[in-house]
Amino acid sequence: MDTKIYYKGDYKYRLHKKCQFYISIKPDELIAGVDRYVTLAPDGLMTFKRGYAWDGATGVRDTKTVLRASLGHDGLFQLFREGKLPRSLEHGANRLFRKHCIEDKMNRFRAWYMYVGLGKFAKSATLAKNVRKVMVAP
């Protein structure tokens, strides 16, 4: 019997129910993250299973107007890191973040400066070396 715990850190939020929404990124075939908590269908339907964890909007205050955008953005960046989506789609993911913020009633100026910040600081999050490592305790 293995009495150790295996975990990943740095998450703030965990979905209580499955969440789905359509995005403009449409792959040729169904794409699933390694853990299958996030999938993206050819029609653009992005699905997050109950229990999916993400860290919100990194570097800014989390509000209700940014949570869906941060969920979708984190899911797409997970697929980039895992090599499931080409990193060339990063700009499109950042535009979707801004679009979702505005749809969820964020002030347009705040959505714009968050979008600009993503363009400047988020690229490294698409790299495979930034996949969260499984840690073990004790």
All structural domains of the chain with their residue ranges: 9-127
Identity of the residue numbered 65: T
Give the phi and the psi of residue 48 in degrees, each rounded to 5. Answer: -120, 125
Going from the C-alpha of 80 to that of each of 4, 21, 50, the distances in angstroms are 30, 19, 21
Q: Is the pLDDT of residue 7 over 90?
A: no
Round the average pLDDT of the chain to a whole number and report it: 90
Let me know: does 108 contact 102? Beta carbons within 8 Å.
yes
Q: C-alpha angle 79/20/14, rounded to 5°?
A: 70
Residues 52-109 pLDDT 10s = 999 899 888 899 999 999 999 999 999 999 999 999 999 999 999 999 999 999 999 9
pTM of the model: 0.85
Residue-level pLDDT at 119: 85
Q: How open is the CA angle 22-14-16, to the nearest 5 degrees?
A: 75
